[in-house]
Amino acid sequence: MAVKSNFKNMVLCLFFVCLVCSAILGVVYAMTKDPISKTEAAKTTKSIALVVPHFDAEPVADTVSFNGTDVVYYTTVNGGKPSGYAIESETSGFGGVLKLMVGITPDGKVYNTSVLKCNETPGLGAKCTTDESFISQFKGFDPSVKKLVVKKDGGDVDAITASTITSRAYALAIKNAVDFFAQNLAETSQTMNQTAVDSTAVKNMEE
């Protein structure tokens, strides 16, 4: 005799279906969590290596609240002294979030930049990830003598053709990172460098 369909049967059936689906999702999450984390970590490490000078120790991550936003940055060291700071900086471009990794040397200059997230228009704003003439102008950029604003707005940055909004966002992301360094890391960087110099001097005297 066939079981009559009723509300209780349907609820029980739906419950068991949800239970099975949840179990499957849990297993899939557990299996993919570590590989995804490792992939993201590798991507971050690669970005750090692209934007700061050579370092001989594992980058140290930290987070500081700045202008109402939590800023993630990485300190790299070479020979016991800071070699650079890789700072994550996020702004809004033409197509949405534009996120950069900005490398700054202890003297406050921009060493290099790398795009972490980009939703700009292919063939136009998205060129900020591939246009070497645009990207290279920020290598060694000294914000104490040049202005991180596109030339159209009175600055020293050459914009990508037909992509002024993206270019403005890119320059602003770098400027925000520079400002963060100046207000949060510059003094610490000088102290660490001096400590390393003093330690080296003492070691040489002992030898």
Contacts of residue 38, Cβ cutoff 8 Å, sequence gap at least 6: none
Given a contact cutoff of 8 angstroms between Cβ atoms, the answer to whether 87 and 111 are in contact is: no
User: Which pLDDT does position 20 carry in this prediction?
Assistant: 77
Chain centroid to CA 90: how far? 8
Q: What angle do CA 200, 108, 204 make, to 5 degrees?
A: 5
User: Which pLDDT does position 42 carry in this prediction?
Assistant: 73
Task: Please give the helix or strand (H or E) that residue 206 lies within, else none.
Answer: helix 186-206
pLDDT tens by residue, the chain, 207 residues: 455 557 677 777 777 777 777 777 766 666 665 666 566 667 788 889 999 999 999 999 999 999 899 999 999 999 989 999 999 999 999 999 999 999 999 999 999 999 999 999 999 999 999 999 999 999 999 999 999 999 999 999 999 999 999 999 999 999 999 999 999 998 776 665 555 444 444 344 455
d(CA 184, CA 117): 24
Distances (CA, A) of 33 to 29, 120, 166: 6, 29, 33
d(CA 198, CA 111): 26
User: Which pLDDT does position 46 carry in this prediction?
Assistant: 87
How many CB atoms are closer than 10 A to CB 8? 8
Dihedral through CA 43, CA 46, CA 50, CA 53, nearest 10? Answer: 140
d(CA 207, CA 164): 58
Structure token digits, residue 207: 């030898």
In terms of residues, how long is the chain?
207
d(CA 107, CA 154): 25
Residue 119's Cβ-side half-sphere holds a number of Cα atoms within 13 Å equal to 10
Is residue 121 packed enough to be buried (19+ CB in 10 Å), middle (13-18) or exposed (0-12)? middle
User: Which pLDDT does position 13 carry in this prediction?
Assistant: 77
